[in-house]
């Protein structure tokens, strides 16, 4: 079991959070919008906290909010806000300021995802996945552009 | 010199105007369409439309040959990323960043994005300068150059009051560069006498501050 901190509770962040909690991990979610909490509760039998999850309202970049959400003891840090630059910045904060052992960062822009990936960051680019899926669906040969 | 400025708010636009007036080649990148159109009408081809944190936008602006990158968007994460990419991907040697929220300064330092300037900090310094509640004001810190300039009020009865500049027991690595007296400032000579009530500007190596200020503080 790991302690996982997820920053950004949108569609992706909230779903990953619920699945990880269901898989038996300790999960803390940080988001600036109190309404994002509803995504964690929607369609569930119990509330997020009732199921054992943690939720903190705060800005992703605020040190105090990150600490309150438990970054100091996190084993895994997931940056999944809707801003690439916010994600890339807080991911580096998690790595370099708080020494989180594993940091995953969502980057929508494939170019930046690739470059930061080459710098040693574990980037995940949904845009590239979508492009691949479309191309597979239409049988476009790889790299034909 | 070729400068790329990212962010066409008040700071970026006025900076671009000043640089152009000095004959510097500049490209200004702005991501908001309405702002871009307004500035395009004034500055023409100098302004480019796009998200200045995207690599292709930076490359279109010619960041590969930029001598200076100035990141002055209203978003600290954007400014951090721009400088990081300019330095590490495009080997731009000089970059300057704006810090919008002083609390984010720690992250600029963490990622070694320097120099980073915050308007809030600058105004705070001006307030300290204008409001004489503080005995000491940091006017300039240049950590890379190992240099600081501070302003100190000469207190009544301190060790320095009544002495000539050359008699001051200033530590090696510090020097009085200016004396402010009667609403004016002047560069002191060796035999200029320092009076209580004067303010002095001292240029010093970092770390010498306690030794320097001890000369000007009232005896305890």
Instruction: Identify the structural domains of chain A with CATH numbers, from first to last.
Output: 3-137 (3.40.50.720)
Q: Given this model, what pLDDT does residue B14 score?
A: 93
Taking the CB of residue A1, how many other CB atoms lie within 10 A of it?
Answer: 8
- In sequence order, the 6+-apart residues with CB closer than 8 A to the CB of B156 are B196, B197, B218
Contact check, Cβ <8 Å, A61/B104? yes
Residues B52 and B139 in one domain: no
The token pair at A88 is 């890339």
Which chain A positions have a beta carbon within 8 Å of B56's beta carbon?
Answer: 111
Residue B114: CB partners within 8 Å, gap ≥ 6?
B108, B143, B144
Residues B40 and B12 in one domain: yes
What is the C-alpha separation between A5 and A98, in angstroms, rounded? 12
Residues B89 and B175 placed together within one structural domain of the fold: no
Asked whether residue B131 carries a pLDDT value surpassing 70, the answer given is no
- Tell me, yes or no, whether B207 lies in a domain: yes
pLDDT digits (tens, 9 = 90+) for B138-168: 777 777 778 888 888 898 889 999 999 999 9
DSSP string, A16-48: HHHHHHHTT-EEEEEES-TTHHHHHHTT-SS-T
Let me know: does B136 contact B151? Beta carbons within 8 Å: yes
Among the listed residues B65, B66, B68, B72, the one whose alpha carbon sits nearest the alpha carbon of residue B29: B72
Give residue B134's pLDDT band: very low, low, confident or very high (50, 70, 90).
low
Cβ–Cβ below 8 Å for A84 and B78: no
All residues of chain A having their beta carbon less than 8 Å from the beta carbon of residue B103 are 62-63
When CB atoms are compared, the residue of A89, A96, A97 closest to B77 is A89
- The CATH number of residue B24's host domain is 3.40.50.720
Res. B132 pLDDT band, cuts 50 70 90: low
What beta strand segments (E) does chain B contain? 2-6, 25-30, 47-49, 68-71, 94-98, 116-117, 136-142, 147-153, 174-181, 184-186, 199-204
- Same domain as B104, residue B159: no
Last residue of a domain, which of B95, B119, B143? B119
Contact A112 B53 (CB under 8 A): yes
Nearest CA in chain B to A114: B55
Confidence class for position B59, pLDDT limits 50, 70, 90: very high
- Measured from the Cβ of residue B150, the count of other Cβ atoms closer than 10 Å reads 20
Interface pTM (ipTM) of the complex? Answer: 0.89
Same domain, B154 and B58: no
Element of type H or E holding B121 = helix B119-130
Same domain assignment for residues B137 and B114:
no
Cα dihedral value B51, B54, B55, B59, nearest 10: 0
Task: Round to whole Å and give the CA distance between B189 and B177.
Answer: 10
What's the pLDDT tens digit per position in B79-120? 999 999 999 999 999 999 999 998 999 999 999 998 888 877
Q: Give B193's DSSP letter.
A: B
Query: Positive or negative, the Cα torsion across B202, B204, B209, B213?
Result: negative
Chain A (11-50) residues lying within 8 Å, Cβ to Cβ, of chain B: none
C-beta of residue B70 within 8 angstroms of C-beta of residue B95: yes
Q: Which tens digit of pLDDT belongs to each residue from A78-107?
A: 999 999 999 999 999 999 999 999 999 999
The domain total for chain B is 2
- Are B114 and B6 within one domain? yes
Domain that holds residue B200: 132-216
A63 interfacial to chain B (CB closer than 8 Å): yes
């Amino acid at each position: 079991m790991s302690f996982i901190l997820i920053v950004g509770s949108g569609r992706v962040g909230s779903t990953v959070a619920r699945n990880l909690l269901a898989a038996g991990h300790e999960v803390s979610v940080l988001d600036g919008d109190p309404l994002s909490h509803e995504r964690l509760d929607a369609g569930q039998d119990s509330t997020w906290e009732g199921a054992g999850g943690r939720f903190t309202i705060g800005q992703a970049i605020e040190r105090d909010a990150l600490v309150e959400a438990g970054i100091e003891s996190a084993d895994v840090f997931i940056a999944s806000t809707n801003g690439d630059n916010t994600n890339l910045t807080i991911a580096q904060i998690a790595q370099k300021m708080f020494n989180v052992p594993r940091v995953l960062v969502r980057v929508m822009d494939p170019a930046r995802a690739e470059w930061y990936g080459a710098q040693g960051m574990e980037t995940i680019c949904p845009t590239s996945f979508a492009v691949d899926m479309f191309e597979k669906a239409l049988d476009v040969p790889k790299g034909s552009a | 010199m070729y400068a790329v400025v990212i962010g066409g708010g008040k700071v970026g636009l006025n900076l671009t105007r000043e640089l152009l007036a000095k004959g510097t080649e500049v490209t200004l990148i702005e991501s908001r369409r309405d702002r871009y159109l307004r500035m395009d009408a004034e500055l023409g081809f100098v302004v480019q439309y796009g998200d200045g944190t995207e690599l292709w936008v930076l490359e279109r602006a010619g960041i590969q040959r930029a001598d200076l990158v100035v990141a002055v968007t209203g978003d600290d994460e954007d400014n951090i990323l721009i400088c990081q990419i300019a330095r590490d991907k495009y080997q731009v040697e000089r970059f300057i960043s704006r810090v919008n929220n002083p609390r984010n300064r720690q992250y600029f330092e963490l990622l070694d994005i320097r120099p980073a300037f915050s308007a809030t900090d600058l105004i705070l310094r001006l307030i300290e300068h204008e409001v004489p509640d503080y005995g000491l004001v940091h006017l300039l810190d240049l950590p890379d150059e190992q240099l600081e300039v501070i302003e100190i009020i000469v207190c009544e009865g301190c060790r320095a009051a009544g002495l000539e500049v050359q008699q001051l027991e200033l530590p090696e690595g510090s020097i009085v560069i200016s004396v402010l007296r009667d609403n004016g400032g002047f560069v002191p000579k060796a035999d200029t006498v320092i009076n209580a009530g004067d303010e002095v500007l001292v240029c010093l190596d970092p770390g010498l501050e306690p030794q320097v200020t001890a000369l000007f503080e009232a005896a305890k």
